[in-house]
Chain A
Amino acid sequence: GEDVEQSLFLSVREGDSSVINCTYTDSSSTYLYWYKQEPGAGLQLLTYIFSNMDMKQDQRLTVLLNKKDKHLSLRIADTQTGDSAIYFCAGASDSNYQLIWGAGTKLIIKP
Chain B
Amino acid sequence: DVKVTQSSRYLVKRTGEKVFLECVQDMDHENMFWYRQDPGLGLRLIYFSYDVKMKEKGDIPEGYSVSREKKERFSLILESASTNQTSMYLCASSLSYSGTGSNSNQPQHFGDGTRLSIL
A interface, CB within 8 angstroms of B = 8, 30-31, 33, 35, 40-45, 48, 50, 52, 88, 90, 92, 94, 97-99, 101-104
Whether B74 sits at the interface, judged by CB under 8 Å, is no
Q: Contact between B113 and A42 (Cβ–Cβ < 8 Å)?
A: yes
Besides A8-B40, A97-B31, 11 other A-B contacts (C-beta < 8 A) = A35-B110, A40-B113, A41-B112, A42-B6, A43-B43, A43-B90, A44-B110, A48-B105, A52-B102, A92-B105, A94-B100
Cβ–Cβ < 8 Å partners of A30 in chain B: 100-102, 104
Report which B residues bind A (CB closer than 8 A).
Answer: 4, 6, 31, 33, 40-43, 45, 48, 50, 58, 90, 92, 94, 96, 100-102, 104-113, 115
- A64 CB to closest chain B CB (Å) equals 19
A42 to chain B, nearest CB (A): 4
Q: Bound state CA distance, A4 and B111, in angstroms? A: 23
- Closest residue of chain A to B105, judged by CB? A31
- The interface residues of chain A, by DSSP majority, are classed as strand
Chain B residue nearest in CB terms to A102: B42
- The answer to whether B107 touches A33, judged by C-beta atoms less than 8 angstroms apart, is yes
A103 to B44, CA, bound (A): 9
Residue from B6, B45, B104, B109 in contact with A92 in the complex, judged by beta carbons closer than 8 Å = B104
